Every structure is written in structure tokens, then in C-alpha cells.
């Protein structure tokens, strides 16, 4: 019951009524009445990461350094209730962080005026500010609102807790030319206010080269600025204000009034440039916006240039004494060199906390475990957030972590498998391409190209089919597609992708000595265009054995019709005579009408096919030879079918156009 009441008090909306962590720890110890050492043996880390403030006006080369302050809050409870109490505290603090994340202004006070965030001790109205010096007047304009610092009547551009500055728009006006030494006050005086002109962020700038300007503080010289005039015809390319037509000088510490003495070298015009205090970032961001300042650099003037941003340091007493700390400001350069130490104080939340230290209970714990960039727990350790610090604890991975690891491993394995499969496909495709090229060369592809190139129109008549196309046409050379088996190879029936029925001749495995026979048949048939000669459509040399593609002749061979006649197709004497005539005409064409005489050397009834109209088609030119026109005979190795060979050719190896095998075919037809 007492724990529930304590948890309820921790959730009060009014921060003043909520107990501090020390009070929570003391009450819990009193509830338990005894304590044990709670030591998990883990390494404790105090946060050294400061969350960057999103309200910074600009990034300046430098930093503010403070001593590392560590804080921890622990209490010991009975082991039986330890887990319940930890769960209670975790829920309590989680709710507090969600409901009151980084409070910047007083409770029930607006945090913004227009686009400018107003943190405490500043506040919109006297009820929301620490005192009248920090009161902000949120003024309405046509379509927007603008905050003004009431005590100085200057527009506020930004308020930064982390840098301890407020950036305001200060009025600027040109200097009247005067050859006599003249004293002038710039902008607003900060006397009797908690503000001073920031030495780190501001510089005194003099635009133009007509004046010598001396900055005074307490009636003494604090700096002198004089620019030289640039030669005519030169166009500036930078905004460094390096002493030519523009100069700048640093200001002293604790400056609250801008008092200068100047003297002009020229009085031909009314105005002689500008002298003003400004935030140094103005040179980079806004200087080029004023076109009038660029027209005449030696004596610039722009009627629109009436305000310039100035950074004011401020300080205020700390309110969150438990979790906040105040130190003198120390400014460092980007390479670590100290620029100067300021006497003004700046308050921040201690390491491990963030928020507004000027509010009571304004600093809140940072959950370093919610972002891996905020903790240094190595792989395999679990980050456990504590109040003001965190622990890196060894232990078993949570189910979520194990699930992520499993998913990652699965995705990695899948990606590896896909990459391996793609690599395998690429390698296999490359191997196939190399094999096809090897087969092409071995099957006489180079010789065929040479023969066809030397034969007129040979390339146009012969198509080179791919092995994939013929495999699909013959159903991967299915045995059911076999039309016949001869001495030169096996013939398959196939259908091309365009619907044509073809006969694919798959040659037997040939030696290099027999390649000439195969190439000879391709070259010969590529030259023949006769209705009684089987037409060669193309060939394929990418496979282990060569492939020839012919037109399909549907009605079998003459041998089949002579020796196995059918009632559907009786071989009449007229048909026999016509077939004999067609074969004679085909051979006559080959011997005399063709561009190159061709001797078949193996005329027989099995090499004569009948088409759908039972016209004769001479086929199987594997043993054929072409001869020169002036040759009367050809001496070769005896090739052909015994029983059909010319006796003279068999004895002398001299083949002539007088073909004896034709007489044997005629004899078969006469029976």
C-alpha cells in the first residue's frame, strides 16, 4: 500500500509535489526495514554524451568545457521484493519521461513565440519569466508572431540554454562623415541588466575604408579598426572582412555598452560606411543579402540594412541543485586550444541528464540504452539504463535479439544462395558457350564458313540453327521421332517454332578425316535448287555431332514402296516411269545444269524419297563430290553402296557422269 502511494506521488502533474530520488530511496528503505548489497558485478558507465541542442543559432568553431560530474542513486532492498521494486521504478520513470520530456519553460507557460523557443528563465509574460529582465513580449504581426525582450525592446532571434546566450536584432545606422574626431554610441546599453555582449560570438565590424574607428571601454581603448581601400576594378569573392574595404576586431570581456570614436578621411558624401557589433556568422549568412553594401565597397550604403544580430551572454542562479551544475565558461578552439575563460557562469545538467537546470526538477535522466550512439556497450553485452548512468551487462540475448539474429542469418544465407546460384548459372552458361564454340570448330564450322564464302549465294541459302532450337523441335531427339537410320546418321522428325515440319539428320560421330564428307554435303546442297532434290534448310554445328535440317518428305522412300506396296498407294507403271524420269532429270541437273557439276556416287532406291504428291526427291548427298567443268572424270577413294557401284569406278576409282547405279534403280522400277 505504501509503495502504491509513493508511485502515485511520483506521477503528480505539479513538479513541486513530486518527491526527489533521495526521498524515494529513503522511503523505500524505510518500507523494507532492512537492506542487502545489490551487486550484479557489472561495469557502470556515467554518460559523457551531451545531446545536441536543436535551437542553436549556428555552429561556431569552439566549444564550452565543463568538469565531468557524475552522480548515482542506489538503494538496497530485500531480495524477495527486488524485482517488484525495480519494475515499479522502471514504470514510474518511464511514465515521467513520456509525460514530461525535457521541460524548458515553467509549467502551464507557452514554450514558443512564432518559431522561437522560449526556455526559462525567459518567459512570455511576467508570470512565466524569472524577473522583468527575462520577460518576453510576443507581439502579433500580420501573419506571424515575433518575440521581443521587454527590458531592451529588441527582437529575439534565438535563446540557447546550452550556450547561455540570447541572440537579438540590434539597430544599425550608417556613420555621418566627419573629419573631426567624433564619439558615437552604438545600439542599446546593457547597464543594469543581466546581459553582456558576448566576446566569443561577436566582433566589431567596420564597413568601408573612409573611417578610423576606436572601440572604448571605461574611457580606455579596447580596439582599433581601420580598413584600406581596394584598387578599382576588383570584385570581392569572399566575406572574410580581412582589412580591405572592411575590417573587424574583437571586443573585450564584460562589455555592456558600445562606445566608439571615429574620424572620416572624406566628407564628399553624407554617410561614410558602418560601424556595428554583430554575431560573426552574419558575414557568412547575411552580408551578401544586402546588395547596396556590395556596390561601393569603399563607402557602402543600403537603406534596407537597419538591423544586425548580436549575441548576449546571460547568467541566472541554478534551480535544480541536485542534478545541475554551474561553472565559469571556458571557450576552446576546434583544435583544443583555449581561447579565453569568461567570468560569467553557465549552468547545465550533469552528465547523464538533460533538460533545463534553471527549473526545479528540470534535469531528467537520459536513456542511453534507447540509442546505440549514446552508450559504449560492446557486442554481446546488454545495455541497462540507470538513473544518471547505464550498465553494460553480460547475459543471454533477449528473444527479440535472437529473432533479429535468426532473421539476419536467414537473409544472409538466402542472399548467399542466390549469389551462388547466379554464379553457377553464369559459369554454366559460359561453359556451354565455350563447348558450343569448341564443337563448332571441331565439326568443321571454320571449313564450312570458308566453303560457303567461296560459293556464290551459299550463305543466303543456308541457315545456322542453334542447338537449343533443334532440341525443342525434336523433343530432345526423342526415339519416337526417328524417321530412319542410315549409313551417315539418324533422321528425326521435328517442328520448328514457325510451325514448319522438318527432318533433322543427326550425323554419326565423325573423325576429323570424315569432316570433309559432312561439309561436302552441306556445301553441295546449299547450291542446289531443284524440285526433285531434297532442299537443305540449314545446319547446326554447336553439338557434339553435326546436325542437318532438311525439308520434310512425308511418303517414305522408293525402296519401301517397291518392296512393301500398299493398297492405298499402288505403284503403277505410269508412276514408276514418272519417278524414273524425275530422278534422271535431277541427276542431269546435278551433272550439267548446276553451277558446279555434282556427282552423287550413291544413287539407290533408299535415297529416293516421295513427297506428298509422290514426286521423287533425291537425298543423302554425303558421298557426293563436285568437280570442275573441264574435268571428264574424278579419281577418289571408292565410296558408296556395294551392288550399286559402277564396275569401272570400283576397279579404277574414276567416277564419271555415266552412272551405272541409275540403271539398277530403273531395273527395280521395271519389276
Q: Which residues are catalytic?
A: 602
Contact 458, 523 (CB under 8 A): yes
Contact 298, 227 (CB under 8 A): no
Looking only at Cα atoms, what is the longest distance across the chain? 146
The full 3-state SS of 386-406, as one line of letters, equals ECCEEEEEECCCCHHHHHHHH
Relative to beta strand 536-540, strand 463-464 is parallel
* 302-311 burial code (b ≥16 CB/10 A, e <16): beebebbbbb
* Helix, strand, coil percentages in the chain from 3-state DSSP, rounded to 5: 30, 25, 45
Give the helix/strand (H/E) hosting 586. helix 573-588
For residue 151, the 8-state DSSP code is: T
Give the helix/strand (H/E) hosting 634. strand 634-635
Distance CA 26, CA 41 (A): 24
Contact 481, 493 (CB under 8 A): yes
- Nearest one of 255, 454, 411, 225 to 342, comparing CA atoms: 255
Helix, strand, or coil (residue 190)? coil
Look-up of cell digits 574607428: 213
88: CB partners within 8 A, 6+ apart: 3, 7
Which residues is 262 bridged to in the sheet?
182, 213
Contact 463, 535 (CB under 8 A): no
Q: Which three cell numbers stand for residue 197?
A: 555582449
Look-up of cell digits 515575433: 146
Q: How far apart are the first and last CA of the chain?
A: 125
Helix, strand, or coil (residue 411)? helix
- Nearest one of 237, 311, 239 to 279, comparing CA atoms: 311
Distance CA 69, CA 71 (A): 7
160: CB partners within 8 A, 6+ apart: 53, 55, 56, 57, 166, 167
Contact 528, 598 (CB under 8 A): yes
- Nearest one of 560, 537, 558 to 616, comparing CA atoms: 558
Amino acid at each position: 500500500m505504501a509503495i502504491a502511494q509513493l508511485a502515485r506521488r511520483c506521477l503528480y502533474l505539479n513538479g513541486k509535489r513530486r518527491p526527489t530520488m533521495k526521498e524515494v530511496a529513503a522511503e523505500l528503505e524505510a518500507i523494507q526495514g532492512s537492506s542487502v548489497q545489490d551487486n550484479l558485478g557489472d561495469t557502470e558507465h556515467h554518460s559523457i554524451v551531451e545531446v545536441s541542442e536543436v535551437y542553436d543559432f549556428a555552429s561556431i568553431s569552439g566549444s564550452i568545457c565543463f568538469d565531468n560530474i557524475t552522480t548515482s542513486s542506489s538503494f538496497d532492498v530485500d531480495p524477495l521484493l527486488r524485482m517488484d521494486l525495480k519494475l515499479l521504478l522502471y514504470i514510474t520513470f518511464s511514465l515521467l519521461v513520456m509525460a514530461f520530456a525535457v521541460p524548458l519553460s515553467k509549467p502551464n507557460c507557452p514554450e514558443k513565440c512564432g518559431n522561437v523557443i522560449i526556455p526559462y528563465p525567459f518567459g512570455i509574460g511576467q508570470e512565466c519569466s524569472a524577473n522583468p529582465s527575462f520577460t518576453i513580449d510576443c507581439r502579433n504581426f500580420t501573419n506571424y508572431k515575433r518575440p521581443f525582450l521587454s527590458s531592451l525592446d529588441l527582437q529575439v532571434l534565438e535563446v540557447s540554454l546550452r550556450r547561455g546566450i540570447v541572440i537579438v536584432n540590434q539597430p544599425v545606422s550608417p556613420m555621418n562623415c566627419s573629419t573631426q574626431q567624433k564619439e558615437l554610441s552604438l545600439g542599446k546599453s546593457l547597464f543594469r541588466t543581466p546581459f553582456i555582449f558576448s566576446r566569443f560570438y561577436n566582433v566589431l565590424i567596420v564597413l568601408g575604408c573612409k573611417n578610423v574607428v576606436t572601440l572604448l571601454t571605461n574611457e580606455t581603448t579596447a580596439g582599433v579598426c581601420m580598413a584600406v581601400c581596394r584598387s578599382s576594378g576588383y570584385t570581392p569573392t569572399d566575406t572574410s572582412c580581412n582589412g580591405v574595404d572592411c575590417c573587424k576586431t574583437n571586443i573585450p570581456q564584460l562589455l555592456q555598452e558600445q562606445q566608439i570614436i571615429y574620424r572620416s578621411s572624406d566628407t564628399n558624401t553624407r554617410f561614410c560606411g558602418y560601424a556595428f557589433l554583430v554575431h560573426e556568422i552574419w558575414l557568412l549568412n547575411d552580408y551578401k543579402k544586402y546588395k547596396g553594401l556590395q556596390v561601393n565597397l569603399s563607402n557602402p550604403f543600403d537603406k534596407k540594412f537597419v538591423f544586425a544580430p548580436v549575441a548576449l551572454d546571460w547568467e541566472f542562479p541554478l534551480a535544480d541543485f541536485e542534478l545541475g551544475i554551474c561553472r565559469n565558461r571556458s571557450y576552446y578552439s576546434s583544435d583544443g586550444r583555449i581561447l579565453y575563460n569568461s567570468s560569467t557562469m553557465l549552468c547545465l545538467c550533469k552528465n547523464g541528464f538533460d533538460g533545463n537546470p534553471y527549473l526545479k526538477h528540470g534535469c531528467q535522466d537520459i536513456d542511453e540504452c534507447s540509442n546505440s550512439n549514446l552508450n559504449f556497450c560492446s557486442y554481446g553485452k546488454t545495455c541497462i539504463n540507470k538513473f544518471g548512468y547505464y550498465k553494460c551487462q553480460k547475459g543471454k540475448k533477449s528473444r527479440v535479439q535472437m529473432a533479429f539474429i535468426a532473421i539476419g542469418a536467414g537473409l544472409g544465407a538466402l542472399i548467399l544462395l542466390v549469389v551462388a546460384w547466379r554464379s553457377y548459372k553464369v559459369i554454366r552458361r559460359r561453359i556451354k558457350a565455350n563447348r558450343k564454340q569448341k564443337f563448332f570448330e571441331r565439326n568443321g564450322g571454320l571449313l564450312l564458313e570458308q566453303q560457303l564464302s567461296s560459293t556464290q549465294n551459299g550463305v543466303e541459302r543456308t541457315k545456322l540453327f542453334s542447338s537449343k532450337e533443334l532440341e525443342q523441335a525434336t523433343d530432345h531427339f526423342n526415339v519416337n521421332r526417328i524417321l530412319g537410320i542410315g549409313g551417315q546418321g539418324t533422321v528425326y522428325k521435328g517442328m520448328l517454332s514457325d510451325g514448319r515440319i522438318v527432318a533433322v539428320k543427326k550425323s554419326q560421330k565423325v573423325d576429323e578425316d570424315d569432316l570433309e564428307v559432312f561439309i561436302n554435303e552441306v556445301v553441295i546442297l546449299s547450291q542446289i535448287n531443284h524440285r526433285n532434290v531434297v532442299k537443305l534448310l540449314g545446319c547446326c554445328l554447336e553439338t557434339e555431332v553435326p546436325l542437318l535440317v532438311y525439308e520434310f518428305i512425308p511418303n517414305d522412300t522408293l525402296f519401301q514402296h517397291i518392296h512393301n506396296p500398299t493398297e492405298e498407294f499402288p505403284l503403277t507403271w505410269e508412276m514408276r516411269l514418272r519417278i524414273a524420269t524425275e530422278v534422271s532429270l535431277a541427276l542431269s541437273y546435278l551433272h550439267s545444269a548446276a553451277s558446279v557439276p555434282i556427282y552423287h556416287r550413291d544413287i539407290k532406291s533408299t535415297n529416293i524419297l516421295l513427297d506428298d504428291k509422290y514426286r521423287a526427291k533425291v537425298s543423302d548427298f554425303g558421298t557426293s563430290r563436285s568437280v570442275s567443268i573441264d574435268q571428264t572424270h574424278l579419281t577418289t577413294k571408292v565410296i558408296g553402296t556395294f551392288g550399286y557401284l559402277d564396275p569401272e569406278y570400283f576397279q579404277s576409282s574414276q567416277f564419271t557422269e555415266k552412272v551405272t547405279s541409275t540403271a539398277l534403280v530403273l531395273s527395280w522400277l521395271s519389276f
